[in-house]
Amino acid sequence: MDIPIEIIAMFYAFLSGAAYVVTGFLKDPTQDWSWEKALKSIFLAVAVGFIVVAYNLNPEQALSFATTSGFITVLIDNLAKAIIRRFYHVERNNV
């Protein structure tokens, strides 16, 4: 059974949105959990995935689109802050 590439792309978009939410939580685990913010972030990632599918972008174009849309930049920023705060116990206002 072959799965259409559109379904696979949307699945990856959902996973990237979930990863974004997790990195945001790891960045500051003392912050109150907000389902509204979490769902908004996942929706944003799925919207980016939908655009990639709608325009039939190849993987290089999709990566370029994700990078220029700021999604990858924020994901890396969240991961860096999570690592710094976890291992160096930096105060939230300093990073």
Q: From CA 54, how far away is CA 44, in angstroms rounded?
A: 15
Task: Look up residue 3 and give its two tokens.
Answer: 């799965």
Q: From CA 94, how far away is CA 65, in angstroms rounded?
A: 31
Q: Is the pLDDT of residue 93 over 60?
A: no
Q: How high is the mean pLDDT of the chain? A: 76
Backbone CA torsion sign across 25, 10, 45, 42: negative
Share of the chain above pLDDT 70, in %: 92
Which residue type sits at 31?
Q
